[in-house]
Amino acid sequence: MLNENNTNKLNDVLNVLETNFQRLNFAYLRNEKFLPFTKSILQDLDPEPISFVDQYIFRFAKIQDIMGDKLFGMILELVEEYNDSLAFIDKLNKLEKLEVIKDKEEWIYLRKLRNEVSHEYPLLDDEAVASLNNLFRSKDKLMDIYHSCLNYLHKRRIIE
């Protein structure tokens, strides 16, 4: 149900996501010239570019956490499709059915990729480097899911 309190909470979540996307994009741009990463590129990077790799990983994870833990539930609650006992996969199924997100498998892939990078980085084996490159290539997919949520909220006239 939409009320002023829900609207304020939703706007707060959207503002935090916007800030995180800005910082994710900034970190991406600071490392774009090094892409695709190789073991030798990563080993030779100075501390500043490495800090932007770290920032990118952190922001990607933060965005996924906020979207998964807050935004998705808020959307379902606003359209009265939410209850506390829903497993996350059921939330994704409902979001896909409502056409809030196009493909739940894409979200699951991004989550798996994010977890791989979190566990493997800063180890610089071939698998870790490949996962890191895939994470950097997945920025637009994450943004597409976010924009799909925004479009749904606009279409339903939940936000302006």
**From CA 75, how far away is CA 155, in angstroms rounded?**
12
Q: Tokens representing 81?
A: 């499709």
158 contacts: CB under 8 Å, gap ≥ 6: 2, 10, 78
**From CA 58, how far away is CA 99, in angstroms rounded?**
28
pTM (2 d.p.)? 0.94
pLDDT for the residue 78: 87
Q: Tokens representing 116?
A: 């791989």
Output 130-136 pairs: Cβ under 8 A, ≥24 positions apart: 132/37, 132/42, 132/53, 132/57, 133/35, 133/36, 133/37, 135/56, 135/57, 135/60, 136/28, 136/31, 136/35, 136/36, 136/37, 136/56
What are the sequence ranges of the domains in the chain?
4-155
**From CA 115, how far away is CA 7, in angstroms rounded?**
31
Q: Is 133 left (phi over 0), alpha (psi -120 to 50) or beta?
A: alpha
Per run of 10 residues, the mean pLDDT along the chain (length 160 residues) is 80 98 98 97 95 97 97 91 85 96 97 90 85 97 98 92
pLDDT for the residue 84: 77
